[in-house]
Protein backbone atom coordinates (compact mmCIF):
# COMPACT_ATOMS: atom_id res chain seq x y z
CA UNK A 1 0.00 0.00 0.00
CA UNK A 2 1.25 3.47 -0.81
CA UNK A 3 2.53 5.36 2.20
CA UNK A 4 3.83 2.40 4.18
CA UNK A 5 7.41 2.65 5.30
CA UNK A 6 7.24 -0.78 6.84
CA UNK A 7 4.76 -3.59 6.66
CA UNK A 8 5.12 -6.50 9.06
CA UNK A 9 3.10 -9.49 7.92
CA UNK A 10 2.34 -12.44 10.14
CA UNK A 11 5.67 -12.28 11.96
CA UNK A 12 6.61 -15.15 14.29
CA UNK A 13 9.64 -15.16 16.58
CA UNK A 14 10.56 -18.26 18.56
CA UNK A 15 12.91 -19.36 21.33
CA UNK A 16 13.63 -22.85 22.61
CA UNK A 17 12.23 -23.74 26.03
CA UNK A 18 12.40 -26.92 28.10
CA UNK A 19 9.55 -28.67 26.32
CA UNK A 20 8.76 -27.04 22.97
CA UNK A 21 9.62 -23.77 21.27
CA UNK A 22 7.85 -20.71 22.63
CA UNK A 23 6.58 -17.84 20.48
CA UNK A 24 7.04 -14.40 22.07
CA UNK A 25 5.78 -12.95 18.77
CA UNK A 26 3.10 -15.05 17.14
CA UNK A 27 1.48 -13.82 13.97
CA UNK A 28 1.96 -10.06 14.32
CA UNK A 29 0.94 -7.84 11.41
CA UNK A 30 1.53 -4.08 11.58
CA UNK A 31 1.99 -1.24 9.15
CA UNK A 32 3.76 2.01 9.87
CA UNK A 33 3.02 4.86 7.50
CA UNK A 34 5.49 7.50 6.41
CA UNK A 35 5.64 10.32 8.94
CA UNK A 36 3.37 8.72 11.52
CA UNK A 37 3.92 7.54 15.06
CA UNK A 38 2.57 4.09 15.80
CA UNK A 39 2.30 3.31 19.50
CA UNK A 40 2.84 -0.32 20.49
CA UNK A 41 1.54 -0.90 24.00
CA UNK A 42 1.07 -3.79 26.40
CA UNK A 43 2.22 -5.14 29.74
CA UNK A 44 5.79 -6.25 30.28
CA UNK A 45 6.63 -9.55 28.57
CA UNK A 46 4.00 -9.33 25.82
CA UNK A 47 6.56 -9.30 22.99
CA UNK A 48 7.06 -5.61 22.21
CA UNK A 49 10.85 -5.65 22.36
CA UNK A 50 11.10 -8.93 20.46
CA UNK A 51 9.00 -7.44 17.66
CA UNK A 52 11.33 -4.45 17.42
CA UNK A 53 14.50 -6.54 17.65
CA UNK A 54 13.21 -8.69 14.77
CA UNK A 55 12.62 -5.49 12.82
CA UNK A 56 16.23 -4.43 13.47
CA UNK A 57 17.65 -7.89 12.70
CA UNK A 58 18.99 -8.01 16.26
CA UNK A 59 17.25 -10.98 17.90
CA UNK A 60 19.52 -12.60 20.50
CA UNK A 61 21.34 -15.36 18.67
CA UNK A 62 21.55 -18.26 18.33
CA UNK A 63 18.43 -19.02 20.33
CA UNK A 64 15.97 -16.45 19.06
CA UNK A 65 14.89 -16.68 15.45
CA UNK A 66 12.25 -15.51 13.02
CA UNK A 67 10.05 -18.47 12.27
CA UNK A 68 7.77 -17.00 9.68
CA UNK A 69 6.33 -13.89 8.14
CA UNK A 70 7.77 -10.89 6.37
CA UNK A 71 9.10 -7.47 7.24
CA UNK A 72 8.75 -5.36 4.11
CA UNK A 73 10.77 -2.16 4.49
CA UNK A 74 10.47 0.22 1.54
CA UNK A 75 9.47 -2.67 -0.71
CA UNK A 76 12.17 -5.12 0.39
CA UNK A 77 11.75 -8.10 2.71
CA UNK A 78 14.33 -7.76 5.49
CA UNK A 79 13.87 -11.33 6.71
CA UNK A 80 16.79 -13.48 5.64
CA UNK A 81 18.91 -10.71 4.08
CA UNK A 82 22.67 -10.93 4.69
CA UNK A 83 24.05 -9.51 7.97
CA UNK A 84 26.12 -6.90 6.13
CA UNK A 85 23.02 -5.69 4.28
CA UNK A 86 21.05 -5.51 7.51
CA UNK A 87 23.86 -3.53 9.13
CA UNK A 88 23.56 -1.00 6.29
CA UNK A 89 19.81 -0.70 6.84
CA UNK A 90 20.46 -0.07 10.54
CA UNK A 91 23.06 2.59 9.85
CA UNK A 92 21.11 4.34 7.13
CA UNK A 93 17.38 3.80 7.42
CA UNK A 94 16.28 2.49 10.81
CA UNK A 95 17.60 3.62 14.20
CA UNK A 96 16.62 2.27 17.53
CA UNK A 97 16.66 3.69 21.04
CA UNK A 98 17.06 0.62 23.21
CA UNK A 99 15.26 -0.07 26.41
CA UNK A 100 18.52 -0.74 28.24
CA UNK A 101 21.02 2.08 27.63
CA UNK A 102 23.75 0.47 29.75
CA UNK A 103 24.51 -2.28 27.28
CA UNK A 104 24.39 -0.26 24.10
CA UNK A 105 27.33 2.13 24.55
CA UNK A 106 30.90 0.94 24.19
CA UNK A 107 32.75 1.53 27.50
CA UNK A 108 36.17 2.07 25.88
CA UNK A 109 35.24 5.05 23.67
CA UNK A 110 34.04 8.50 24.66
CA UNK A 111 30.40 9.21 23.95
CA UNK A 112 31.47 11.87 21.45
CA UNK A 113 33.62 9.45 19.46
CA UNK A 114 30.72 7.01 19.33
CA UNK A 115 28.24 9.56 18.02
CA UNK A 116 30.75 11.05 15.57
CA UNK A 117 31.64 7.62 14.24
CA UNK A 118 27.97 6.75 13.79
CA UNK A 119 27.34 10.00 11.90
CA UNK A 120 30.37 9.49 9.67
CA UNK A 121 29.42 5.89 8.93
CA UNK A 122 26.10 7.25 7.77
CA UNK A 123 27.04 10.39 5.83
CA UNK A 124 30.21 11.64 4.20
CA UNK A 125 30.91 14.64 6.38
CA UNK A 126 34.18 15.94 7.83
CA UNK A 127 34.86 15.13 11.47
CA UNK A 128 34.50 18.76 12.54
CA UNK A 129 31.01 18.88 11.03
CA UNK A 130 30.05 15.53 12.62
CA UNK A 131 31.29 16.86 15.95
CA UNK A 132 29.21 20.00 15.56
CA UNK A 133 26.09 17.89 14.86
CA UNK A 134 26.89 15.68 17.88
CA UNK A 135 27.30 18.66 20.26
CA UNK A 136 24.12 20.22 18.93
CA UNK A 137 22.14 17.03 19.39
CA UNK A 138 23.53 16.46 22.91
CA UNK A 139 22.36 19.96 23.76
CA UNK A 140 18.93 19.27 22.27
CA UNK A 141 18.46 16.18 24.44
CA UNK A 142 19.19 18.31 27.50
CA UNK A 143 22.80 17.46 28.34
CA UNK A 144 24.39 20.48 30.07
CA UNK A 145 27.80 21.71 28.78
CA UNK A 146 27.73 19.32 25.80
CA UNK A 147 31.13 20.61 24.53
CA UNK A 148 32.64 19.17 27.71
CA UNK A 149 30.48 16.10 28.17
CA UNK A 150 31.21 14.93 24.62
CA UNK A 151 34.64 13.86 25.91
CA UNK A 152 33.24 11.70 28.71
CA UNK A 153 33.37 7.94 28.83
CA UNK A 154 29.96 6.29 29.35
CA UNK A 155 30.77 5.11 32.90
CA UNK A 156 31.15 8.73 34.02
CA UNK A 157 27.52 9.35 33.18
CA UNK A 158 24.33 8.49 35.04
CA UNK A 159 21.79 6.07 33.54
CA UNK A 160 19.57 8.96 32.50
CA UNK A 161 22.50 10.77 30.81
CA UNK A 162 23.50 7.64 28.95
CA UNK A 163 19.92 7.19 27.79
CA UNK A 164 20.02 10.75 26.43
CA UNK A 165 23.31 10.04 24.65
CA UNK A 166 21.70 7.03 22.98
CA UNK A 167 18.77 9.17 21.92
CA UNK A 168 21.12 11.85 20.56
CA UNK A 169 23.00 9.19 18.59
CA UNK A 170 19.83 7.65 17.13
CA UNK A 171 18.42 11.05 16.16
CA UNK A 172 21.61 12.48 14.67
CA UNK A 173 21.43 9.72 12.02
CA UNK A 174 18.15 11.21 10.76
CA UNK A 175 16.59 7.78 10.23
CA UNK A 176 13.49 7.20 8.14
CA UNK A 177 12.17 4.97 10.90
CA UNK A 178 12.97 5.48 14.56
CA UNK A 179 12.17 2.64 16.94
CA UNK A 180 11.93 3.97 20.48
CA UNK A 181 11.63 1.11 22.99
CA UNK A 182 10.52 2.53 26.35
CA UNK A 183 12.65 5.56 25.46
CA UNK A 184 12.04 7.65 28.52
CA UNK A 185 11.79 5.16 31.39
CA UNK A 186 15.13 6.21 32.92
CA UNK A 187 14.40 9.93 32.64
CA UNK A 188 12.64 12.47 34.82
CA UNK A 189 9.39 14.01 33.65
CA UNK A 190 10.80 17.30 32.33
CA UNK A 191 13.45 15.57 30.26
CA UNK A 192 10.86 13.04 29.04
CA UNK A 193 8.72 15.85 27.69
CA UNK A 194 11.75 17.48 26.07
CA UNK A 195 12.79 14.23 24.34
CA UNK A 196 9.30 13.56 23.01
CA UNK A 197 9.10 17.13 21.76
CA UNK A 198 12.41 16.67 19.95
CA UNK A 199 11.32 13.37 18.40
CA UNK A 200 8.10 14.94 17.16
CA UNK A 201 10.04 17.89 15.75
CA UNK A 202 12.26 15.59 13.72
CA UNK A 203 9.25 13.62 12.61
CA UNK A 204 7.75 16.80 11.18
CA UNK A 205 10.97 18.16 9.67
CA UNK A 206 12.29 14.93 8.17
CA UNK A 207 9.06 13.01 7.60
CA UNK A 208 10.48 10.38 9.94
CA UNK A 209 8.21 7.55 11.13
CA UNK A 210 8.29 6.43 14.76
CA UNK A 211 7.46 3.12 16.40
CA UNK A 212 6.89 4.17 20.00
CA UNK A 213 6.98 1.17 22.32
CA UNK A 214 5.79 1.67 25.87
CA UNK A 215 3.66 0.33 28.68
CA UNK A 216 2.64 3.93 29.39
CA UNK A 217 -0.79 4.70 27.90
CA UNK A 218 -0.40 8.40 28.71
CA UNK A 219 2.69 8.60 26.51
CA UNK A 220 0.96 7.13 23.46
CA UNK A 221 -2.17 9.19 24.08
CA UNK A 222 -0.12 12.33 23.58
CA UNK A 223 2.31 11.18 20.92
CA UNK A 224 0.92 8.40 18.72
CA UNK A 225 -1.33 8.72 15.67
CA UNK A 226 -2.39 5.09 15.91
CA UNK A 227 -2.06 2.47 18.61
CA UNK A 228 -1.61 -1.30 18.50
CA UNK A 229 -2.29 -3.20 21.73
CA UNK A 230 -0.17 -6.30 22.17
CA UNK A 231 -0.68 -9.28 24.47
CA UNK A 232 0.99 -12.70 24.57
CA UNK A 233 2.68 -12.16 21.21
CA UNK A 234 -0.45 -11.02 19.41
CA UNK A 235 -2.09 -7.75 18.40
CA UNK A 236 -5.43 -7.62 20.20
CA UNK A 237 -6.60 -4.23 19.00
CA UNK A 238 -5.45 -1.60 16.56
CA UNK A 239 -7.03 1.81 16.09
CA UNK A 240 -6.39 5.50 15.57
CA UNK A 241 -5.43 6.97 18.96
CA UNK A 242 -8.57 9.08 19.26
CA UNK A 243 -10.78 6.13 18.40
CA UNK A 244 -9.06 3.83 20.87
CA UNK A 245 -9.34 6.28 23.74
CA UNK A 246 -12.91 7.24 22.86
CA UNK A 247 -14.11 3.66 22.51
CA UNK A 248 -11.68 0.93 23.45
CA UNK A 249 -13.27 -2.35 22.35
CA UNK A 250 -11.09 -5.17 23.65
CA UNK A 251 -11.53 -5.99 27.35
CA UNK A 252 -7.73 -5.91 27.67
CA UNK A 253 -7.49 -2.43 26.13
CA UNK A 254 -10.20 -1.25 28.49
CA UNK A 255 -8.22 -2.63 31.39
CA UNK A 256 -5.08 -0.81 30.23
CA UNK A 257 -6.98 2.46 29.91
CA UNK A 258 -8.61 2.03 33.30
CA UNK A 259 -5.18 1.59 34.84
CA UNK A 260 -4.11 5.14 33.85
CA UNK A 261 -4.16 7.19 37.06
CA UNK A 262 -6.78 9.89 36.73
CA UNK A 263 -5.86 13.40 37.80
CA UNK A 264 -9.39 14.76 37.81
CA UNK A 265 -9.61 14.76 41.57
CA UNK A 266 -12.81 12.75 41.46
CA UNK A 267 -11.46 10.17 43.85
CA UNK A 268 -11.14 7.52 41.15
CA UNK A 269 -9.11 4.57 42.31
CA UNK A 270 -6.34 3.09 40.25
CA UNK A 271 -7.83 0.04 38.56
CA UNK A 272 -5.74 -2.79 37.34
CA UNK A 273 -6.28 -5.90 35.30
CA UNK A 274 -6.80 -8.96 37.50
CA UNK A 275 -4.44 -11.92 37.24
CA UNK A 276 -1.07 -12.20 35.54
CA UNK A 277 0.21 -12.54 31.99
CA UNK A 278 0.28 -16.32 31.42
CA UNK A 279 3.64 -17.96 30.66
CA UNK A 280 4.28 -18.52 26.95
CA UNK A 281 4.59 -22.27 27.41
CA UNK A 282 1.18 -22.43 29.05
CA UNK A 283 -1.11 -20.08 27.14
CA UNK A 284 -4.87 -20.60 27.10
CA UNK A 285 -5.97 -22.62 24.08
CA UNK A 286 -8.54 -20.13 22.78
CA UNK A 287 -8.40 -16.40 23.44
CA UNK A 288 -5.08 -15.64 25.14
CA UNK A 289 -6.84 -13.22 27.49
CA UNK A 290 -9.20 -15.96 28.70
CA UNK A 291 -8.84 -16.40 32.45
CA UNK A 292 -8.32 -12.67 33.06
CA UNK A 293 -11.38 -11.53 31.16
CA UNK A 294 -14.62 -10.79 33.01
CA UNK A 295 -16.66 -10.93 29.81
CA UNK A 296 -15.66 -14.32 28.39
CA UNK A 297 -18.37 -16.21 26.54
CA UNK A 298 -18.84 -19.65 25.02
CA UNK A 299 -16.18 -19.91 22.28
CA UNK A 300 -13.48 -18.00 24.22
CA UNK A 301 -11.93 -20.94 26.03
CA UNK A 302 -11.44 -23.17 23.01
CA UNK A 303 -11.27 -20.97 19.90
CA UNK A 304 -8.91 -18.07 19.36
CA UNK A 305 -10.75 -15.12 17.82
CA UNK A 306 -9.51 -13.56 14.55
CA UNK A 307 -9.27 -9.78 14.14
CA UNK A 308 -12.69 -8.30 13.42
CA UNK A 309 -12.89 -4.99 11.55
CA UNK A 310 -14.90 -2.39 13.44
CA UNK A 311 -14.91 0.85 11.53
CA UNK A 312 -12.15 2.85 9.85
CA UNK A 313 -8.76 1.38 10.74
CA UNK A 314 -10.13 -0.17 13.93
CA UNK A 315 -9.78 -3.91 14.43
CA UNK A 316 -10.21 -6.09 17.49
CA UNK A 317 -9.42 -9.72 18.34
CA UNK A 318 -12.38 -10.66 20.54
CA UNK A 319 -15.46 -12.85 20.07
CA UNK A 320 -17.71 -10.11 21.47
CA UNK A 321 -17.34 -8.33 18.13
CA UNK A 322 -18.19 -11.23 15.84
CA UNK A 323 -20.80 -10.08 13.32
N1 LIG B 1 16.49 -14.41 25.73
C2 LIG B 1 15.27 -14.97 25.81
N3 LIG B 1 15.10 -16.31 25.76
C4 LIG B 1 13.87 -16.85 25.79
N5 LIG B 1 12.74 -16.15 25.90
C6 LIG B 1 12.85 -14.83 25.98
C7 LIG B 1 14.10 -14.16 25.94
N8 LIG B 1 13.88 -12.84 26.06
C9 LIG B 1 12.54 -12.69 26.16
N10 LIG B 1 11.93 -13.88 26.11
C11 LIG B 1 10.48 -14.13 26.15
O12 LIG B 1 9.86 -13.26 25.27
C13 LIG B 1 8.75 -12.64 25.88
C14 LIG B 1 8.57 -11.26 25.31
O15 LIG B 1 9.64 -10.45 25.76
P16 LIG B 1 9.78 -8.92 25.34
O17 LIG B 1 9.60 -8.79 23.87
O18 LIG B 1 11.06 -8.47 25.91
O19 LIG B 1 8.55 -8.26 26.09
P20 LIG B 1 8.21 -6.72 26.30
O21 LIG B 1 9.21 -5.91 25.56
O22 LIG B 1 6.82 -6.57 25.77
O23 LIG B 1 8.26 -6.49 27.77
C24 LIG B 1 9.03 -12.69 27.37
O25 LIG B 1 7.84 -12.87 28.07
C26 LIG B 1 9.92 -13.89 27.53
O27 LIG B 1 9.10 -15.02 27.85
S1 LIG C 1 -12.56 -13.34 23.18
FE2 LIG C 1 -13.64 -13.79 25.07
S3 LIG C 1 -12.06 -14.07 26.64
FE4 LIG C 1 -11.14 -13.06 24.89
S5 LIG C 1 -11.25 -10.90 25.36
FE6 LIG C 1 -13.06 -11.39 24.13
S7 LIG C 1 -14.65 -11.89 25.61
FE8 LIG C 1 -12.70 -11.94 26.73
MG1 LIG D 1 10.55 -4.56 26.27
Q: Which atom of ligand 1 is nearest to the CA of 17?
A: 4
Share of the chain above pLDDT 70, in %: 95
128 class by beta-carbon count within 10 Å (0-12 exposed, 13-18 middle, 19+ buried): exposed
Identify which of 89, 84, 55, 49 has the alpha carbon closest to the alpha carbon of residue 69: 55
Residue 261 has pLDDT above 80, yes or no: no
Q: Which residues contact 254 (CB under 8 A, 6 or more apart)?
A: 248
The answer, yes or no, to whether residue 255 has pLDDT greater than 50, is yes
Give the pLDDT of residue 198. Answer: 87
Over range 121-134, report the average pLDDT.
93
CA–centroid distance, 244 to ligand 2, in Å, is: 17
Instruction: Give Cα 216 distance to the centre of its chain.
Output: 12
Q: What is the pLDDT of residue 79?
A: 96
> Which stretch of DSSP H or E encloses residue 24?
strand 22-33
Look at residue 184 in the predicted model and tell me its pLDDT. Answer: 80
Per DSSP, the three-state class of 287 is: coil
Confidence class for position 122, pLDDT limits 50, 70, 90: confident
Cα(321) to centroid(ligand 2), Å: 9
Lowest mean pLDDT among 24-38, 102-116, 180-194, 267-281: 267-281
Count the neighbouring beta carbons within 10 Å of the beta carbon of residue 255: 19
Mean pLDDT of the region 270-280: 82
Q: What residues contact 313, with CB distance under 8 A and at least 6 apart?
A: 226, 238, 239, 240, 243
Angle of helix 111-122 relative to helix 83-92, nearest 10 degrees, comes to 100
**pLDDT reading at 247 higher than 70:** yes
Å from CA of 103 to ligand 3 middle: 14
Residue 297 CA, ligand 1 centroid: distance in Å: 30
Q: Assign 3-state DSSP to the chain and report helix, strand, coil percentages, each to 5.
A: 35, 20, 40
* Ligand 2 atom nearest to 321, measured from its CA: 6
Q: Which atom of ligand 1 is nearest to the CA of 280?
A: 27
Cα 7 to ligand 3 centre (Å): 20
300 vs 35: CA distance, rounded Å = 37
Distance from residue 48's CA to the centre of ligand 1 (Å): 8
Alpha helices in 141-246, H assignment, sequence order: 146-149, 159-172, 189-206, 217-223, 241-246
Atom 10, ligand 1: residue with shortest CA distance: 24
User: What is the pLDDT at residue 125?
Assistant: 94
Considering every ligand atom, which ligand is closest to the CA of 251? 2
Q: Closest ligand 2 atom to the C-alpha of 299? A: 2
Q: Using the predicted structure, report yes or no on whether residue 272 has a pLDDT greater than 80.
A: no
Phi, psi of 208 (to 5 degrees): -65, 145
CA distance 30 to 36: 13
Q: Which ligand is nearest to the CA of 279?
A: 1
Task: Return the H-helix or E-strand segment holding 231.
Answer: strand 226-231
Minimum mean pLDDT among 14-28, 224-238, 269-283: which range? 269-283
Distance CA 216, CA 294 (A): 23
Question: What is residue 264's predicted lDDT score, i.e. its pLDDT?
Answer: 47
**Strands 177-181 and 94-97, sheet pairing:** parallel
What pLDDT is stored for residue 102 in this prediction? 59
262 confidence band (pLDDT: 50, 70, 90): low
Q: What's the average model confidence in pLDDT over 281-308?
A: 96
Residue 281 has pLDDT above 70, yes or no: yes
User: In this predicted structure, what is the pLDDT of residue 191?
Assistant: 82
The closest-lying atom of ligand 1 relative to the alpha carbon of residue 181 is 21
Give the rounded distance of the alpha carbon of 177 from its chain centre.
Answer: 11
How does pLDDT run across 54-77, given as a tens digit for each residue?
Answer: 999 999 988 999 999 999 999 999
**DSSP letters for 236-261:** EEEEEHHHHHH---SHHHHHHHHTSP
List, chain by chain if needed, residues with CB within 6 Å of any ligand 2 atom. 251, 287, 289-290, 293, 295-297, 300, 305, 318-320
Backbone angles phi, psi at 273, to 5 degrees: -80, 130
Q: What is the pLDDT of residue 208?
A: 94
Average pLDDT over residues 301-308: 98
Ligand nearest to the CA of 185: 3
Cα(319) to ligand 2 centroid in Å equals 6
Nearest bound ligand to CA 96?
A: 3
Is 111's pLDDT higher than 70? yes
Shortest-distance ligand to the CA of residue 300: 2
- Whether pLDDT at 84 is above 60: yes
Residue nearest to atom 16 of ligand 1 (CA): 47
Decide if pLDDT at 99 tops 80.
Answer: no
Average pLDDT, the chain: 91
Q: Is the pLDDT of residue 52 over 60?
A: yes
pLDDT at 164: 87
Residue nearest to ligand 2 atom 1, measured at CA = 318
Q: CA-CA-CA-CA torsion for 228, 48, 55, 309, nearest 10 degrees? A: -20
Range 173-180 average pLDDT = 93
Amino acid sequence: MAGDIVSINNLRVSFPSESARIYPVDGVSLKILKGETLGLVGESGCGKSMTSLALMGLLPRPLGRVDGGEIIFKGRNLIGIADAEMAKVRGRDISMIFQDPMTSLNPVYTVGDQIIEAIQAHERVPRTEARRVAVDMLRKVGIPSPEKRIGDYPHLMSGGMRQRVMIAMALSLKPELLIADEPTTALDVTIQAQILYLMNDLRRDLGMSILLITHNMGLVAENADRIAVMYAGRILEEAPTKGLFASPLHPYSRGLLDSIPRMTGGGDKLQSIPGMVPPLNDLPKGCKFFGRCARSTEPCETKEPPLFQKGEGHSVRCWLYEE
